[in-house]
Amino acid sequence: MSLEDTTTSSGSAPGKLRMTYTEFLDKSPMTGFLWLLLCGMSVAQLLDGMDFMATTFALPGIFREFHISPVQAGALLSSANFGLALGAILFPLMCDLIGRKVIFQWVVLFYGVGTLISALAPNYGVLLASRFVAGLGLGAQLPIVFSILAEFAPTRLRHIFIPLGPLFFAVGLIVAALLSIWLIPIFGWRAIYYVGAVPVVLVVFIRSYMPESIRFLLSKGKVEEAGRIANDLARRAKMDVELVPPPATRVQSQMSFGQQLGEFKAVWGATVVLAAFYFCFFLQTWGINAWLPAIFVREGYPLVRSFSYTLIILIAAPISSWLAMYIQRVISRKWALFWMTAVSAGFSFLFGLAFQHHLSPFYVVGAQFMQMLFGQGVVAILFTLSGELFPTPVRTLGIGIVNGVGRFGMVLGPTALGLLIMFGTPTSHIIYFFAVPMLVAALLALFVIKVDTRQQTLEQINTAQTAGGH
């Protein structure tokens, strides 16, 4: 739908389009502001992906310097994930009460400083604590970014805007692999954490260029401020339109935590299934991927070759996000989740079989590359659905809750895999074990998610959810 589809009002100047602030957002062309917003959020996700993968590539060096056990290594990976889980729930609650912009500034600063302390850590205990601190900020940043993208994205482009976050996060994983291959053999494992502290500079971008969410301001009754931002964006886009507040704007400025939880009544089923899906996704993806270089080393491959094989596999991650963008536009989001999960599960079993039968690296790396090609894109669809299904007053909190619950899969996955390795479990059996849960979650989503969110405004989706998805 284009701007020309909006009718003029009898009270408007002749020939001048009249629309509400939210209609302007839903039907906006790609403006300079939207490009800048996309670039800023994408860079944030790229740097986050780098930081997230840093410990995976630093782990062999940490093993040598601090003389830790596999269980301690799993705890190190899990400490950041535990911070991610808590941060994804605690900070979004403040975000829905105070605002997207101000909380976003603080969480970016939080995880940047935590990563810098990781680079300076003199012992295992300090490193463990610093990864938890960095995880708090990183976990909070993810749901805030996806709320911002969902609330500013034009309806016709929402299936692209939100998945760009996971796509650039995946690019960050590749950049981390490239930098690790170059930096760690020369400068040691701490170098990758120094690079990971760069996101602190994003605070300047947030303070200078990013406005508060118009939908958030409307939900808080700050209609005047929302109008100023909407009109400013329209002027910068050189659009000759008359913007007016939406009818019956809901004022939620005094909403308590209990009232916020009440907003979940219409979406409780989707909340449970999304949380379960996130949990299973992170259990499998980071249970396996966080250990990939160490797994290859365990199977007898040299360190640099292990890094190279991991890099090849990670190349599939951003491609998978592009694939998810296309699939979720063509078919319903829940069916896109199911088919991508089912295909990725098949390749997971092939990956395990390749290790079990001692096949050449071509088959081992190829199977996991294909698993990543279909499996990693699942998170792009999950984030799109999360941004769409929750109402504005609790959107960031909703994304934070399902994402935070899911992050406990990240806590459990690396630690469980470390235990399985310590007990001598064959690599192939470990891979089979981790492949099953996400497939179960995909089947559950088919029955619980009722609304097809494609090409619907956020307000239309909210109405459909309230009506029971019919």
Whether 156 shows a pLDDT value over 80: the answer reads yes
Q: Calculate Rg over the CA atoms of the chain.
A: 22
Question: pLDDT tens-digit profile of 32-84?
Answer: 888 888 887 887 778 777 877 788 788 888 888 888 887 788 788 778 777 87
Q: So what's the pLDDT on residue 57?
A: 83
Question: pLDDT tens-digit profile of 298-322?
Answer: 877 777 688 788 888 888 888 888 8
Whether 234 shows a pLDDT value over 60: the answer reads yes
Burial 25-34 (b: 16+ CB within 10 A, else e): bbbbeebebb
Helices 361-375 and 316-330 pack at an angle, to 10 degrees, of 40
Mean pLDDT of 277-281: 90
Q: So what's the pLDDT on residue 10?
A: 40
Q: Give the C-alpha separation, 383 to 330, whole Å.
A: 17
Mean pLDDT of 431-445: 86
Burial class (CB in 10 A: 0-12, 13-18, 19+), 15: exposed
Which domains are present in the chain? 3-466 (1.20.1250.20)
The rounded mean pLDDT for the chain is: 81
Question: pLDDT tens-digit profile of 176-199?
Answer: 888 888 888 888 889 888 887 776
Q: Give the C-alpha separation, 189 to 110, whole Å.
A: 22
27 band by pLDDT with thresholds 50, 70 and 90: confident
Three-state SS at 19: strand
Element of type H or E holding 243: strand 241-244
Structure tokens, 260: 């916020």
Whether 222 shows a pLDDT value over 80: the answer reads yes
Mean pLDDT of 85-90: 77
- Of 287 and 184, the structure prediction assigns the larger pLDDT to 184
Q: So what's the pLDDT on residue 428?
A: 84
Whether 15 shows a pLDDT value over 80: the answer reads no
377 band by pLDDT with thresholds 50, 70 and 90: confident
Q: So what's the pLDDT on residue 9?
A: 41
Q: So what's the pLDDT on residue 407?
A: 75
- Of 278 and 249, the structure prediction assigns the larger pLDDT to 278
Structure tokens, 463: 């109405």
Mean pLDDT of 155-159: 84
Highest mean pLDDT, choosing among 140-154, 195-209, 262-276, 405-419: 140-154
End-to-end CA distance of the chain: 23
Whether 245 shows a pLDDT value over 80: the answer reads yes
Structure tokens, 369: 């590359």
241 φ, ψ to 5°? -130, 155
